[in-house]
């Protein structure tokens, strides 16, 4: 059994809370958010401990792990505060806005032997994982070209206010939306060597980008086109897809299905035939033990909880739980790719590009109204989640995805809306001493 803290009660924070709270391996939960109404509801109707100060929560709740679901510009300082207290960390994507933070904090987590995970949930979707497996088998030969796309109706009219409208806060389509298909590409092909022809254009936004396009080159020689638009009102919700052309076939994959064309004479994996094959995500991944928004969200949290439990239960020095899908190391590769796209769009060199540290931004003005519609629905899910002192038996472990063939999918080895400004956090000391708490508040994502 482990204890968990969560920072940020926005859309993603409430989604994670509704999944974490009934998890059989989670003993207690604490949350931090500047929203008094949300905290009041949780304090009055659940057993969740509530805080408005992030570092106070870490010091008083003393969790084994923390889930960070705050605006992107807050991530680095909040992760640093958790690692300094030897707390395992799950952080929403993108990991950091400054790639130097990724280098530093990935190394700190490794030195302290702490479990890390980042919220790139597509790696837990059965169809995307099946594409990864087929690539590793060489099913479509050498991949010569790829197309990664993401479209959705996030910004469909001129908007003002909020951290997503501020470049320095990590807003914009590139870091908040394009990060997902870029992460799939780095999962499949490794680090981006060069970005070219990159454009970050506005449709309705004036301070950030609403569309992203770029050509990405990988060390293997594969070239990928990236096309992303979060101002596409023809979509009901976000859709992400990847198309891969190889010397022996073609793969087109999204969250719902994977279409595979194998040329006659190619070595055909078990369960496939020459020509066209279609498999669905329901065939390729198990039903979740608890469902909110999508199977992948439940599976990624379950994986993180089990990794932390394994690390706690193992003997020192064994490294149990440290390897896994979506570690800081693998997410930092995606951060580097995003930095190259941003640099190229500005006409800068993309060789060894590190994004300059963003300016500290002022908190966005709170939106009017007590609760947004989606946040109300997610809060209801949190309150409705079963939780009792008589714990249920733990569900079977959630794999990253269920493979189509008998051979298991090999674990991925890393290539290794109100917000308040986070105050300065005490730097990590060489020793494991707990630093003096500073006043820190997390925003909502």
- Model pLDDT for residues 28-83, shown as the tens digit of each residue: 999 999 999 889 999 999 999 999 999 999 999 999 999 999 999 999 999 999 99
Distance CA 89, CA 115 (A): 6
Q: What is the pLDDT of residue 263?
A: 95
Q: What is the pLDDT of residue 313?
A: 87
Two structure tokens written together for 32: 């931090």
341-344: long-range pairs with CB below 8 Å, 24+: 341/174, 341/178, 341/182, 341/195, 341/198, 341/200, 341/212, 341/214, 341/216, 341/226, 342/174, 342/198, 342/200, 343/195, 344/195, 344/196, 344/197, 344/198, 344/214
Distance CA 28, CA 26 (A): 6
Crossing angle (nearest 10°) for helices 11-20 and 373-384? 10
Distance CA 330, CA 86 (A): 21
Kindly report the length of the chain.
Answer: 445
Distance CA 119, CA 330 (A): 11
Crossing angle (nearest 10°) for helices 179-189 and 328-345? 120
- The mean per-residue pLDDT over the stretch 327-347 comes to 97
Confidence class for position 400, pLDDT limits 50, 70, 90:
low
Burial of 221 by CB count in 10 Å (0-12 exposed, 13-18 middle, 19+ buried)? Answer: exposed
Nearest CA to 83 out of 57, 107, 119, 51 is that of 107
> Do residues 269 and 358 lie in contact, with contact meaning Cβ atoms separated by under 8 Å?
no
Query: For every residue of 337-370, which 3-state class applies, written as one string?
Result: HHHHHHHHHCCCCCCCCCCCCCCCCCCCCCCCCC
Nearest CA to 132 out of 406, 338, 331, 404 is that of 404
- Say yes or no to pLDDT of 295 above 50: yes
Q: What is the DSSP letter of 422?
A: P
**Interval 223-241: pLDDT, tens:** 999 999 999 999 999 999 9
Confidence class for position 322, pLDDT limits 50, 70, 90:
confident
- The mean per-residue pLDDT over the stretch 363-390 comes to 54
Distance CA 261, CA 273 (A): 9
- Say yes or no to pLDDT of 369 above 90: no
**Interval 134-193: pLDDT, tens:** 999 999 999 999 999 999 999 999 877 666 677 767 779 999 999 999 999 999 999 999
Task: Name all domains of the chain by residue range, CATH numbers in brackets.
Answer: 2-122+289-384 (3.40.50.720), 124-284 (3.30.360.10)
Q: Whole-model pTM?
A: 0.82
Confidence class for position 444, pLDDT limits 50, 70, 90:
low
Tell me the pLDDT of the chain averaged across its residues.
Answer: 84
H or E segment at 186? helix 179-189
> Do residues 194 and 217 lie in contact, with contact meaning Cβ atoms separated by under 8 Å?
yes
Q: What is the pLDDT of residue 288?
A: 83
């Amino acid at each position: 059994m482990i204890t968990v803290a969560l920072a940020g009660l926005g859309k993603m924070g409430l989604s994670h809370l509704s999944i974490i709270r009934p998890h059989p391996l989670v003993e207690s939960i604490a949350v931090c958010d500047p929203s008094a109404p949300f905290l009041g509801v949780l304090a009055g109707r659940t057993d969740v401990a509530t805080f408005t100060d992030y570092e106070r929560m870490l010091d008083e709740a003393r969790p084994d792990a923390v889930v960070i679901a705050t605006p992107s510009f807050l991530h680095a300082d909040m992760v640093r505060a958790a690692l300094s207290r030897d707390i395992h960390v799950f952080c929403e994507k993108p990991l950091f806005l400054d790639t130097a933070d990724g280098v530093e904090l990935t190394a700190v987590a490794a030195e302290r032997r702490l479990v890390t995970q980042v919220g790139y949930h597509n790696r837990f979707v059965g169809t995307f994982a099946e594409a990864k497996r087929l690539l590793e088998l060489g099913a479509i030969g050498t991949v010569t070209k790829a197309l990664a796309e993401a479209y959705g109706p996030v910004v469909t009219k001129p908007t003002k206010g909020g951290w997503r409208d501020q470049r320095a806060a990590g807003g914009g389509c590139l870091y908040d939306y394009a990060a997902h298909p870029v992460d799939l590409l780095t999962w499949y092909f490794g680090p981006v060597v060069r970005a070219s022809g990159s454009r970050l254009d506005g449709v309705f936004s004036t301070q950030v980008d609403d569309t992203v396009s770029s050509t990405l080159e990988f060390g293997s020689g594969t070239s990928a086109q990236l096309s992303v638009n979060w101002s596409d009102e023809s979509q009901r919700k976000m859709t992400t897809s990847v198309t891969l052309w190889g010397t022996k076939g073609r793969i087109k994959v999204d969250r719902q299905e994977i279409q595979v064309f194998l040329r006659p004479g190619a070595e055909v994996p078990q369960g496939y035939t020459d020509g066209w094959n279609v498999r669905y995500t329901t065939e390729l991944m198990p039903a979740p033990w608890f469902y909110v928004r999508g199977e992948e969200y439940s599976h990624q949290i379950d994986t993180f909880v089990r990794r932390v439990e394994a690390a706690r239960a193992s003997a020192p020095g064994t490294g149990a739980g440290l390897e896994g899908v979506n570690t800081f190391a693998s997410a930092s590769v995606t951060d580097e790719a995003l930095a190259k796209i941003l640099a190229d769009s500005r006409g800068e060199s993309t060789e060894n590009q590190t994004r300059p540290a963003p300016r500290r931004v002022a908190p966005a003005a709170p939106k009017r109204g007590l609760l947004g519609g989606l946040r109300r629905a997610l809060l209801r899910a949190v309150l409705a989640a079963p939780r009792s002192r008589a714990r249920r038996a733990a569900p079977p472990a959630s794999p990253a995805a269920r493979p189509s063939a008998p051979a298991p999918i090999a674990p991925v080895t890393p290539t290794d809306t109100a917000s308040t400004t986070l105050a300065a956090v005490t730097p990590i000391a060489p020793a494991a001493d707990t630093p003096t708490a500073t006043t820190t508040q997390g925003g909502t994502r």
